[in-house]
Structure 1
Amino acid sequence: MTPSSAIRKIFQGVADRHQMFRMFDRHAQRRNRFDVDASTLYAGEWFEITEREHDYMFEILPPLWIRGSMFAMREFLTGSITSVFFALRIDGAIRHFHGYCDLSDGRSVEEMRLAIIEREARPARAMTREERLEHIWSATADAYRGYSDESALQDLPGDRLVTLFSAAGLARTKLLHDLTDTEIAAKLPIHLRHLPDAAAAA
């Protein structure tokens, strides 16, 4: 199942430049990429970046606008969706984030800012099941993830698929949202496998 336009964290940790650029278009393999409006795929996605990457993006092109500690990219990804970069003080430290906001909605940028602060100000590190799945999708190489099509009768076209490997090295694909807790743990890096569950995440 493809993600909704709800505000959601899609990567755990701080993305480096390579990871950042991969996540800018993490739905590049979608069906009918250039024929279907993908606004709902991207709107609401956010992740943390370094100060260096934040400043690098600021210097690429003149921003569309600057509002305090936020700026928006002049080039739109799709429809009215564009990158907004944030420098936010959380627990006394300045941290940097990228989010996709729908600028046709005048509330989207402020809602994104508040959601990031709320999510990252939690006293204990925790991940929801959805955050675990989104991290797996973001971190999986293109060769091992994809989308179902009309030939997969048991799946809906556009459902996200990931490749799993057995102990014997045999590969099979499975719907991302159908992964078991054991399969999720196996796909996550070691430092994320045993974080506590969170009841909700923005």
Structure 2
Amino acid sequence: MNPASPIRKIFQGVASRQDMFRLFDRHKQRPNRFEGDDSALYAGEWFEIGGAQCDYMLDVLPPLWIRGEMFAMREFLTGFVTSVFFTLKIDGHIRHFHSYCDLSDRSSPDRMRSAIIERESRPVKAMSHEERLEHIWSSTHDDYRGYAGERWPEGDRGKRMVLLYGGKEGTILKLLDQLMDAEISAKLPVHLRFLPDAIAA
């Protein structure tokens, strides 16, 4: 069994159908994509979708299993990681979510369910620093993001990077995890820029 990956929200708001399909493989540009087991890269990721998207995915293929308010896709993305979809009642509202769970750990769907409910039951809208970075990565077009290659210091190679507007310097590439607060704010849509900080779920 692979070590548990942290459960993390990767997109703020309800993903459209187009967003959903992009988010299914937001790591497709990674180096050595088809080498080794990338389970840890995907396991633990989740985001909200609409009810129509959830119904569509239920009808695509017969699910691997259905358990009450959740079902798992029959096709595995990598290793034992597959999509698990949830229909949850949170604060009186029915909402729908997509997640990646590593089914080599039978308890992972239940832990994911609990984490989503805990995160989405918070009374005040907020985003942790990690959620801001994940949203930037998720919402940036493939042409404006990538992975550090051979021109970067050895310790940085393979890390995620995004294109920034650098004023007089023009556009520059910068590692995602090294973005300053002002750069993070500039990369977020206006309605997310001023949300208070939150402890990661």
Give TM class, smaller chain.
Answer: over 0.9
Structure 2 distance, partners of 1:143, 1:37, is: 25
Structure 1 distance, partners of 2:166, 2:154, is: 22
Alignment partner of 1:18: what SS?
Answer: helix
Matching residue of 1:163? 163
Structure 2 distance, partners of 1:77, 1:65, is: 16
Go from structure 1 to structure 2 and tell me whether the alpha carbon gap of 1:169 and 1:95 turns closer, same or farther (over 3 Å shift): farther
1:71 and 1:85 in contact (8 A); partners too: yes
Q: What are the superposed Cα offsets for residues 130-167 of structure 1, whole Å, 9 maximum, x if unpaired?
A: 00000000000001100112331264221000000133
Structure 2 distance, partners of 1:111, 1:85, is: 13
Structure 2 distance, partners of 1:139, 1:132, is: 11
Alignment partner of 1:13: what SS?
Answer: strand
1:188 aligns with 2:150: no
Structure 2 distance, partners of 1:17, 1:80, is: 25
Matching residue of 1:118? 118
Alignment partner of 1:48: what SS?
Answer: strand
Q: What are the superposed Cα offsets for residues 27-49 of structure 1, whole Å, 9 maximum, x if unpaired?
A: 00000000121111100000000
1:148 and 1:155 in contact (8 A); partners too: no
Q: How does 1:1-202 map to 2 (within 5 A)?
A: 5-153=5-153, 155-168=155-168, 170-198=170-198, 200-202=199-201
Structure 1 distance, partners of 2:15, 2:65, is: 24
Structure 2 distance, partners of 1:135, 1:179, is: 13
- RMSD (CA atoms): 1.2
1:51 and 1:95 in contact (8 A); partners too: yes
Instruction: Measure how far apart 1:169 and its partner are.
Output: 7.7
Q: What are the superposed Cα offsets for residues 90-109 of structure 1, whole Å, 9 maximum, x if unpaired?
A: 00011000000000001100
Instruction: Give the TM-score taking structure 2 as reference length.
Output: 0.96
Q: Please identify, of 151-160 and 48-57, the stretch whose mean Cα deviation from structure 2 is larger.
A: 151-160
Structure 1 distance, partners of 2:197, 2:153, is: 33
Q: How many residues align?
A: 198
Structure 2 distance, partners of 1:114, 1:19, is: 24
Structure 1 distance, partners of 2:187, 2:90, is: 29
2:80 partner letter: S
Structure 2 distance, partners of 1:32, 1:158, is: 10
2:90 partner letter: I
Percent identity of the aligned residues?
A: 65
Instruction: Give the TM-score taking structure 1 as reference length.
Output: 0.95
Structure 1 segments (4+ residues) deviating >4 Å? none
Structure 2 distance, partners of 1:33, 1:68, is: 34
